[in-house]
Structure 1
Amino acid sequence: MDEVLVALLRTAIVFFMILTFFRLTGKKDIGEISVLDIVITLLIVDIAVIMIEDTDISFMKGIAPILLLFAIQYTFSRISLKNQKFRDIVDGRPVLIIREGKLQQENMKKQSYNLDDVLLQLRTKDVFDICDVDYALLETSGALSVYKKGDQSPFTLPFILDGMVQEEHLGIFGKDSSWLRNELKEKGYENFDDVFYCGFTKQNKLYIEKRIKEDGKSKV
């Protein structure tokens, strides 16, 4: 009976710990959970099962690895929030799969993404002909974002994210960093680092949002 009570108590504690973990990762849809979150979650679940089933393992010995994984996830998430390069390494980046109705085969190979994968995701969006697609991006979550030809809203991608220039996105629109620098200077921005977000609006004009300093003031 004592073993049953211990197992129940451990189960309750682990449940609230895992619930807390998901709260710390932020409000995300299941499809938006990062690879890091999935890996850590699986490890926590495995450790939790062992700790609950084997009551001979001391509570602190069982809980210590879970707390370590919590600390790793929290540290990585804080670094990712402030460092795009680190975020790209951990979470990856969106990849262009279709451009102006043509499959980007090299990008597909790099992502181990085959034709069946493309066609399946297109069908889920009621698209049955690749030629009807203007652009399609494979998101870091594995979902395919599709922009069809004839859509009313213009296709756009960010040119600057958290002070980092997105050279690949500029290239898709036939632009480069020199063009972007001149455009920003005309609007009073001397450095890319001053910009938190920059991209085209529906009117094909640049939308720019200033980067906020740690003290909460706009960086100018």
Structure 2
Amino acid sequence: MEYAGVIIRTLILYLVMMVIFRLMGKREIGELSILDLVVFIMIGEMAVLSIENPDIPIVKSILPMVLLMIIQIILALLSLKSQKFREVLDGKPSIIISQGKIDEHVMRKQRYNFDDLLSQLREKDILNIGEVEYAILEPSGQLSVIEKKQGEKQEKVSPFPLIIDGVIQEKSLSRLHKDEKWLLQQLNRQGYHSISQVSFCTCIDGKLYIDEQDSQ
């Protein structure tokens, strides 16, 4: 009977964890934020403790797991509403290489060394740093790389959004050597008279790609 109880508790907790992780949303392991990882580890530890201690009522194990799920969902909803909250929660991408130039100050700030950089570049089959136009260290720890293009004419795509959730990204504009006045003029030409109309905007070959805010 003792083994049967362990099997039953394991199956119940397995199903509960499956439901919790599905409700928390689909994300690849490499895309998990530190907070996501902590929550997943805590839920896993609670499940293990419950299986190893059959004397503990299973409800007492499931309750804190569900509570963590609710907290995580609330935080995710808040991060959808506010870019600043999202940056506090998940962190911001760090530009390690910009226009072919390595930013060692950013690397030191992130405690990210050249061995880390070269290792992640090799994972993307890049052996020469000189081939890299932009390298961005994502909050998940992954390195996003945009290579330099040679020979044929290529579209000049800015990897830095100009508008996110209706908020102008001043740093992105400065990297393009543009200002808010220029951006507003470009938006007006395309029939957008308010930043609040725009959900997302980036620059492709000098032209704006715009995604409108969904109507509420």
TM over 0.5: yes
Aligned residue in 2 for 1:217: none
Aligned residue in 2 for 1:218: none
CA shift, 1:186, in A, is 2.5
CA shift, 1:166, in A, is 1.7
Aligned residue in 1 for 2:192: 189
Instruction: Give the gaps of 5 or more residues in structure 1.
Output: 215-220
SS at match of 2:192: coil
Distance 2:126 2:80 in 1: 35
- Asked whether the 8 Å contact 1:193–1:211 carries over to 2, the reply is yes
CA shift, 1:34, in A, is 2.3
Aligned residue in 1 for 2:214: 212
Deviations 1:166-210 (A, max 9, x none): 222222211222321222223222322221110113x33101111
Aligned residue in 2 for 1:62: 61
Aligned residue in 1 for 2:134: 135
Distance 2:104 2:23 in 1: 38
Letter in 2 for 1:126: D
Distance 2:155 2:119 in 1: 24
Aligned residue in 2 for 1:90: 89
Deviations 1:51-107 (A, max 9, x none): 111111122222211111011111111111222111111111211100122111121
Selected match of 1:163 from 153, 159, 166: 166
- Asked whether the 8 Å contact 1:147–1:155 carries over to 2, the reply is no
Distance 1:51 1:95 in 2: 40
Letter in 2 for 1:69: L
Letter in 1 for 2:135: A
CA shift, 1:114, in A, is 0.9
CA shift, 1:153, in A, is 4.6
Task: Indicate the percent of aligned positions where both proteins have the same amino acid.
Answer: 43
SS at match of 2:162: strand
Aligned residue in 2 for 1:7: 6
* TM-score when normalising by structure 2: 0.90
Q: Is 1:38 matched up with 2:34? A: no
* TM-score when normalising by structure 1: 0.89
Letter in 2 for 1:205: K
Aligned residue in 1 for 2:203: 200
SS at match of 2:191: coil
Distance 1:51 1:204 in 2: 58
SS at match of 2:126: coil
C-alpha RMSD of the superposition? 1.7
Distance 1:35 1:124 in 2: 22
Letter in 2 for 1:173: L
Moved over 4 A (4+): none
Deviations 1:7-57 (A, max 9, x none): 222211211122122212323222112222211100001111111111111
Distance 1:140 1:168 in 2: 18
SS at match of 1:136: strand
- Asked whether the 8 Å contact 2:24–2:69 carries over to 1, the reply is no
Instruction: Give the gaps of 5 or more residues in structure 2.
Output: none
Deviations 1:143-164 (A, max 9, x none): 1111111164533221111112
Aligned residue in 1 for 2:103: 104
Letter in 1 for 2:71: I
